[in-house]
Every structure is written in C-alpha cells, then in structure tokens.
Amino acid sequence: AFGVPQDTNVRTLTSGSQSPQSLGFLYVPDVAAVCAQSVPRNVTTYRDLPPTNSIVAIAPWLSPSCTLSYLQAASNDMVAAFVFYLPDQSDPPLAPANSPTWDLGDGGHWKSVVGYPVYAIDSSVGIMTMQQLALYSGNASSVLSPQELAEYGIDADTHLRLLIDINSSSSGGTNLPSIWIFLLIILAILIFIIGALSLTMHILQRKRRNDLRARIARGEVDIQALGLGKLTVPQEIIDQMCTYTPSAVVPAKGTVEALPPLEQSTCAICLDDFTESQSQVRELPCRHVFHTNCIDLFLLDTSSMCPLCKQSVLPKGYIPGKITNAHVRRERYLRRNAARRARHAAAGSEPPDSSNRVSGPQAWGSANVNGSPPAHAPPIEMTSITEHHSAHATQSNPIAHQGRREWARARALAMSGLQSSSANEGDPELRTSKARKLLRKVFPNL
C-alpha cells in the first residue's frame, strides 16, 4: 500500500466556503489534451471512481488557462478540495499565497469564485503522488503481487484507489492576511521613527541645558531676565552681604574701623527711620540699605531684586537650582528677540511692538541676556522726616506693633510688583495645555 504523510510545506491558496477538513478519493479532472500532457496517461479520473460524494482533485499548476480549466472541471465534479503542485519546481519552500506564482491574470478573482479550498504542495510530493495515482487506477492485480493479494486477502479484481485526508485547521489557513502583516510592519517602522526622533530631541535638549548652565555660571546670561517664576535669594548668599550699624559721624581719612556714614535715613520697606549706632542694616550690592529683618525676609520669600532700584542682588554666575527645558526655550526666545532688535536698530527702524512683549512675570531688573552688568543706580539720599510729620504718621498709623512685621512684608510684596496669591501667575508654562505639555515630554523641542 502507498501512504505519504505531509505535515509541512503545504500552502493554503484559498480556504473557500467549506470546512478546512477534506477527506475523499484522489483523482485528476478531465481537461483538454493540451493541458494533460504532463499527466500520466492511465491516471485515475472521475470515471474510475466509485459512486461517492467525497472526492479531492489533484493537478499540476501550469498556465493560467489550463489551471482555470482544471478548476472549472473540478467545480462540475463537486469536489471537496483541490491540490496543486508545480511540476518544474524542486526547491522548497513554497511561494506565499499572495505571490505572483499563483496569479491567473485576473487579480486573484478566481479565489472568490471557487467554493472549495485550494492547496499547494511540494513539487516532489505532487509528482510522486501523480505517479502512484496512475498505478492505483486499475484493479488490485496491477498493483499487488499474488503473494500480497493472498496475504491481505484481497480479490484480484478489486479496484484500489488513493484516499487523501486534508486537515488545514492548524496549518497555513490561520496565517495573518498579508495586509495585516504590512500594517504591522508600517506600525513598527513608525514607532521606531518616533522613538528615534524623541531620543534625538532629548539628547539635543540635554546638551542645550548643559550649555545654558555653563553660560549662566560664566555670567553670560542673566537668570533674572528669564522671568520664569519667583526667584529668591538663599540664606548663605544673604549672609555674605554687608551688615553694619549706621553712624552719622564721618570717619577720618585712613580710619578703617570707623562705622560708615548714614546715607539713607529711612528703611523703604517698613518706613521706620534708622537709629544711629543702634539699627542694624544690610547693604545690598546696589548700595541701598534696609533693616536686616525687613530685607532678609523680603529676599528669602518674595524676590531677589532690590525693592527700590529693581536690580538683582544675586551674584553673577549663580544657578538657581535645576535648569529645565522651559529655561532653554525662554533664553533662546530672548536671545532671538535681542538679535531682532539689534538688526532693527542697525537699520534705523523701530522693531514691531510684539517683539518687545515678553510673556511671563516681567523682570524688573536688567533684561540683559548677554550678561553685561546693568548700570548701578546712585544711592538714594532720603532727607529726614520732620518731627511733626513723624508724630502725625505715628498717630494715624493703626498698625499695632505685633502686626508690623506682616505689614512690612505686605508692603515689600507690593513694592516688588508681585501678587502674593499667585507668584507664577504669568508663567507661560502654566498657560500651556496639558496635551502640549504631554507632547513636549516626548518631543521637548516643540
């Protein structure tokens, strides 16, 4: 007996509308002689089969016209499935179902016309099956010897036919369609491109942050001009500022230990007069002096600028914590804005008004991004207040002594121009939508 199991190298060309499991007698449909030249002459045909409803056709995949003739004849015979093989191909694997090898010149329309499954097997298996199909087209005596007939107890006039069992439920029929494979490839390419672009932008922004940090450390960028939120002064920097008790006595020449003379008579924050040789004052880099308690609280909690001249008291090269992408975008915008104004100035024209507007909290100090120090304001000479005015102010001031500290803080806050309820109210980052913030996390350059 003849039997060949074929578990691999089977291609489902079309699944049709029938069950993926097909069992039936194997035969070759009757077609024109020009299409049957590669088929053995005594091969099993439809006339050689016993009366049955379970038949499976097999034929070589030749020209499109011959293949269509085989398919049409099989449809007339009511086959359960059709098996093709390429007679001139010897090397596996088989071509995929969407390969031009299985094209019949109708754009694949034949797959929707046939109502039964169509499979393709390896060439060597197909040729061998066709040869055996020619042997099993007559009676038993043409295939088996007398000893085998006696051994199996088969009559010599008994007809022997080949039976094929096809089960494609776990084979090529479950493959994804080619369109989905194509879409998955496109999706993978898009994800790779987005990931590579995001990684490149993050590396570029990191380089820009490091560059901005180095420029700030060299004093080339005024961090106060960036205007991103409330900027205060650390306690260690405040402790480095000059603190003394003012004196009205002018020191003699060459005297080092003498107290400095009194140049301001009143603290601009609490509006109290300085008491000579008693009040402890702190002098800012801009030469303005204030009560130590007043100015320390102001610099720690409110602003890093002098309440009078709005000049920053932070030392050149001070880096306030972490440099973010928002700082990079802000500094780049200010630098481009300054270059645009310089071009307009060189051309002798006024820049547009929109170029002078800066979003976010306005920096009251110098907006010089290039790092050149602003011009120092001269010390403000404040004349002493008359006794009558002082007495009147003392009587009309309803602020109690225990609340004067809070009152001074509120006055300093009003002098700074900031709103105590929302110090970062004008921050452009706070006005950015959540979707744009999320997009900037992936693409920080946007």
Contact 321, 232 (CB under 8 A): no
Looking at the domain assignment, is residue 196 inside a domain?
A: no
Q: Is the CB of residue 279 less than 8 Å from the CB of residue 244?
A: no
Residue 74 confidence class, pLDDT cut points 50, 70, 90: very high
Claim to verify: residue 209 and residue 136 sit in the same structural domain? no
- Tell whether 188 is covered by a domain: no
Instruction: Write down the pLDDT at residue 191.
Output: 96
Based on the fold, state whether residues 373 and 229 are members of the same structural domain: yes
* pLDDT the model gives residue 313: 85
More confident position, 418 or 390: 418
Same domain, 166 and 207: no
Q: Around Cβ 326, how many Cβ atoms within 10 Å?
A: 18
Confidence of residue 73 (pLDDT cuts 50, 70, 90): very high
Rounded CA separation 302/413 (Å): 6
Percent of the chain with pLDDT over 90: 13
Nearest to 292 by CA among 300, 284, 280: 280
The domain containing residue 113 runs over which residues?
A: 11-175
Q: When comparing pLDDT for 222 and 282, which is higher?
A: 282
Beta bridge partners, 25, equal 55, 163
Can you tell me the distance from the alpha carbon of 140 to that of 162, in angstroms, rounded to the nearest whole number?
12
- Angle among Cα 56, 92, 18 to the nearest 5 degrees reads 30
Residue 53 CB burial class (10 angstroms; 0-12, 13-18, ≥19): exposed
- Does any domain span residue 82? yes
Point out the domain boundary residue: 130, 159, 175.
175
Q: How many separate domains does the chain show?
A: 2
Average pLDDT of the segment spanning 148-157: 78
DSSP state of 273: B
Amino acid 65: pLDDT: 93
The CA distance from 197 to 333, in Å, is: 23
- Residue carrying the six token digits 């309803």: 398
Of residues 255 and 229, which shows the higher confidence score?
229
Does the pLDDT at position 301 exceed 50? yes
pLDDT at 60: 93
pLDDT at 430: 53
| Model pLDDT for residues 6-34, shown as the tens digit of each residue | 666 788 898 876 665 678 899 999 998 88
349 by DSSP, 3-state: which? coil
93 lies in the same domain as 171: yes
CA 137, CA 141: separation in Å to the nearest integer? Answer: 11
Q: Residue 256, Cβ neighbours under 10 Å: how many? A: 5
Please say whether the beta carbons of 321 and 314 come within 8 A: no
What's the rounded mean pLDDT across residues 240-269? 65
Q: What is the CATH number of the domain that holds 358?
A: 3.30.40.10
- What does the pLDDT read at residue 358? 40
d(CA 196, CA 190): 10
The confidence score (pLDDT) of residue 59 equals 94
* pLDDT above 80 for 49: yes
- 256 in the same domain as 152: no
Which residue type sits at 412?
A
pTM, rounded to two decimals: 0.41
Regarding whether 223 and 94 lie in a shared domain, the answer is: no
Q: What is the mean pLDDT of residues 237-258?
A: 66
pLDDT band at residue 405 under the 50/70/90 scheme: low
Same domain, 388 and 435: yes
Q: Which residue has the higher pLDDT, 114 or 1?
A: 114
The residue ranking higher by pLDDT, 58 or 385, is: 58
What was the pLDDT predicted at 6? 66
Together in a domain, 158 and 290: no
The pLDDT of residue 114 is above 70: yes
Residue 23 lies in a domain: yes
Q: Do residue 166 and residue 214 come from a single domain?
A: no
Residues 367 and 309 grouped into a single domain: yes
What is the Cα Rg of the chain in Å?
A: 48
Residue 192 belongs to some domain of the structure:
no
Q: Considering the domain boundaries, does residue 195 fall inside one?
A: no
**Does a structural domain hold residue 186?**
no
> Which CATH number is 31's domain given?
3.50.30
Q: What is the pLDDT of residue 325?
A: 82
253 and 140, same structural domain? no
pLDDT at residue 412, rounded to an integer: 66
pLDDT, mean of residues 395-406:
52
Which range is most confident: 27-31, 109-113, 306-310?
Answer: 27-31
- Asked whether residue 125 falls in the same domain as residue 272, the answer is no
Asked if residue 429 belongs to a domain, the reply is yes
